[in-house]
């Protein structure tokens, strides 16, 4: 997901008896679906975990602009270019909503930027894969945004008010992203044999990384159990992955494309698709910084930040000048 | 690597249609009010969400304290007679 394997710092789930009166009151409110707001008391581990989760999510939105930005200058038509620009701009907006939500927990924007630019912060594994052809832009919208929606829709109900509100805004805009991606895939799938081959190639390369986005099985994870108790995680990774596969396979069939998994088959008894083994070694390699594009993504990010420095400084100088003038006038 | 001086935080309020009140939609960083309004346009009104934007420095907002929620709002609890449903009006009178 956009936030993967978020640690909570706990080693076991506390029973209500183990909790302090404050913790118990907090958990009771969460259990009753009462939203937690910024200045209210919250366990330190809840606050820290949320900062980790929300900032990782925000960083993913920011880095996520790069694979798609790669095709803005080469979009096949002016209309496609305008659409892609709007989509990439949305990703920037989503990053900003999320940074604001994280800041309500007492972390500064400068700290968050520093964590991203120094490579200390994590972002989703998916954005370390390259966009080699135009069909990849279709596959990202359809599969990557599709997977993100699976996770973000339930998070609209999460316990932390500002995060929940950011998710509501994001989900409203995300549906456009997925549909424009599928629209690109439909066009290619109905096109020439070369175009169809391009669409198939994109599906081949993006399918497995999309399934990895949900993260390894967390059925046994104490962190996931704690996050679910706090209602900052609503479904298990396996649950969401299954839902994604069930939803996406018929969409691939409609396109006349083949999902690159020989083990994929419908299980009528379970009412779900069965799918093959995921290569988790690859996932851990990408997370550890050894994916195809990790270094390039960070370098591009830092370069953009450094090259924007003079703009930020000019804006600062202008604001200071105006403030000084207003003060002189008042005196 | 990062700038030492962080831009102030602004809270953004948008009026979605004429006739409605401005509503808080989120916040952003900007060096001054003018830039805050321009950034708010890009961040919060990409799909015609607004006809008017207010920005106010977050540090200029005074807020009630969550821990005093009880004593602050208690006085309203016991005054059910402030609600129209407190009064029973004979049905034959129709709507009132």
* CA distance linking residue A178 with residue A147, whole number of Å: 9
Q: What is the pLDDT of residues A116-132, one digit of tens each?
A: 999 999 999 999 999 99
Is the minimum CB–CB distance between B38 and chain A shorter than 8 Å?
no
pLDDT given for residue B1 in this prediction: 43
B9 vs A103: CB contact, 8 Å cut-off?
A: yes
* CA distance linking residue A126 with residue A290, whole number of Å: 12
Range A228-242 average pLDDT: 96
* CA-closest candidate to residue A235, choices A302, A142, A330, A153: A153
Range A24-31 average pLDDT: 95
CA distances from A239 to A34, A57, A157, A218, A306 (A): 25, 20, 17, 10, 41
Helix, strand or coil for residue A43?
A: coil
CA distances from B81 to A214, B70, B76, B84, B95 (A): 53, 20, 10, 7, 19
pLDDT given for residue A4 in this prediction: 82
The answer to whether residue A175 is domain-embedded is yes
The answer to whether residue A110 is domain-embedded is yes
| Residues pairing with B55 in the sheet | B12
Query: Cα dihedral sign for A208, A77, A149, A67?
Result: positive
pLDDT given for residue A39 in this prediction: 87
Q: What is the pLDDT of residues A268-326, one digit of tens each?
A: 999 999 999 999 999 999 999 999 999 999 999 999 999 999 999 999 999 999 999 99
Helix, strand or coil for residue B23?
A: strand
Query: Is 0.90 topped by the overall pTM?
Result: yes
Mean pLDDT of chain A: 95
**Disruptive mutation site among B23, B32, B59, B64 for chain A (greatest number of A CBs within 10 Å):** B32
**pLDDT-derived band at B2, boundaries 50, 70, 90:** very low
Range A62-78 average pLDDT: 97
pLDDT given for residue B65 in this prediction: 81
The answer to whether residue B95 is domain-embedded is no
Q: Cα dihedral angle (A73, A78, A84, A90), rounded to 10 degrees?
A: 110
Q: What is the pLDDT of residues B33-91, one digit of tens each?
A: 999 999 999 999 999 889 999 999 999 999 988 777 778 888 888 899 999 999 999 99
Helix, strand or coil for residue A48?
A: helix
Of A89, A103, A165, the CB nearest to B46: A89
Share of chain A above pLDDT 70, in %: 100
Task: Identify the residue with better confidence: B72 or A250.
Answer: A250
pLDDT given for residue A13 in this prediction: 85
User: Which ipTM did the prediction report?
Assistant: 0.86
Structural domain count of chain A:
1
Q: A-B interface: how many C-beta pairs under 8 angstroms?
A: 61
Q: Can you give the residue range of the structural domain that contains A248? A: 21-291
**Disruptive mutation site among B26, B45, B67 for chain A (greatest number of A CBs within 10 Å):** B26
Query: Cα dihedral sign for A29, A39, B42, A81?
Result: negative
The answer to whether residue A16 is domain-embedded is no
The answer to whether residue A153 is domain-embedded is yes
- What distance in Å separates residue A306's CA from the closest CA in chain B? 8
The answer to whether residue A309 is domain-embedded is no
Structural domain count of chain B:
1
The answer to whether residue A73 is domain-embedded is yes
Q: What is the pLDDT of residues A148-198, one digit of tens each?
A: 999 999 999 999 999 999 999 999 999 899 999 999 999 999 999 999 999
pLDDT given for residue A230 in this prediction: 96
* CA-closest candidate to residue A196, choices A204, A182, A186: A186
pLDDT at A11 over 60: yes
Q: What is the CATH number of the domain that holds A255?
A: 1.20.1260.10
Name every residue whose Cβ is closer than 8 Å to that of residue A331 and which is 6 or more positions away in sequence. none
Q: What is the CATH number of the domain that holds B29?
A: 3.10.20.520
Which strands make up the sheet holding B52-57, listed edge to edge?
A: B23-29, B9-15, B52-57
Q: Can you give the residue range of the structural domain that contains B38? A: 9-63
Of A97, A100, A110, the CB nearest to B6: A110
Which residue matches tokens 């803005």? A72
pLDDT given for residue B19 in this prediction: 86
């Amino acid at each position: 997901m956009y936030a993967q394997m978020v640690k909570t710092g706990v080693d076991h789930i506390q029973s209500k008896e183990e909790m302090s009166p404050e913790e118990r009151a907090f958990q009771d409110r969460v259990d009753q679906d009462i939203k937690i707001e910024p200045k209210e008391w919250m366990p330190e581990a809840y606050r820290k975990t949320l900062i980790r989760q929300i900032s990782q999510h925000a960083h993913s939105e920011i880095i996520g602009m790069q694979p798609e930005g790669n095709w803005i200058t080469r979009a096949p038509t002016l209309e496609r270019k305008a659409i892609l620009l709007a989509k990439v701009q949305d990703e920037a907006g989503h990053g900003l909503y999320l940074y604001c939500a994280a800041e309500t927990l007492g972390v500064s924007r400068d700290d968050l930027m520093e964590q991203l630019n120094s490579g200390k912060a994590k972002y989703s594994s998916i954005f370390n894969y390259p966009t080699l052809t135009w069909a990849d832009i279709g596959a990202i919208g359809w599969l990557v945004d599709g997977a993100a929606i699976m996770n973000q829709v339930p998070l609209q109900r999460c316990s932390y008010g500002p995060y929940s509100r950011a998710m509501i805004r994001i989900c409203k805009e995300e549906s456009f992203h997925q549909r424009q991606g599928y629209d690109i895939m439909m066009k290619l799938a109905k096109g020439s044999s070369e175009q169809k081959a391009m669409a198939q190639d994109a599906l081949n390369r993006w399918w497995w990384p999309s399934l990895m986005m949900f993260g390894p099985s967390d059925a046994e994870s104490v962190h996931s159990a704690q996050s679910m108790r706090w209602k900052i995680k609503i479904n298990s990774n396996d649950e969401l992955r299954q839902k994604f596969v069930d939803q996406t396979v018929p969409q691939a069939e409609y396109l006349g494309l083949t999902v690159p998994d020989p083990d994929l088959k419908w299980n009528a008894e379970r009412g779900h698709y069965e799918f093959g083994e995921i290569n988790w070694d690859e996932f851990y390699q990408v997370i550890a910084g050894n994916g195809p594009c990790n270094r390039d993504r960070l370098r591009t990010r830092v370069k953009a930040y450094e090259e924007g420095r003079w703009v930020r400084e000019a804006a600062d100088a202008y604001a200071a000048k105006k403030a000084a003038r207003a003060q002189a006038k008042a005196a | 690597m990062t700038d030492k001086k962080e831009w102030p935080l602004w809270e953004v309020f948008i009026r979605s249609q004429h006739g409605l009140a401005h509503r808080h939609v989120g916040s952003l960083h900007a060096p001054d009010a003018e830039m805050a309004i321009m950034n708010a346009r890009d961040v919060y009104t990409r799909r015609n969400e607004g006809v008017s934007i207010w920005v106010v420095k977050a540090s200029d907002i005074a807020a009630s304290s969550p821990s005093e929620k009880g004593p602050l709002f208690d006085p309203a609890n016991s005054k059910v007679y402030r609600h129209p449903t407190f009064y029973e009006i004979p049905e034959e009178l129709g709507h009132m």
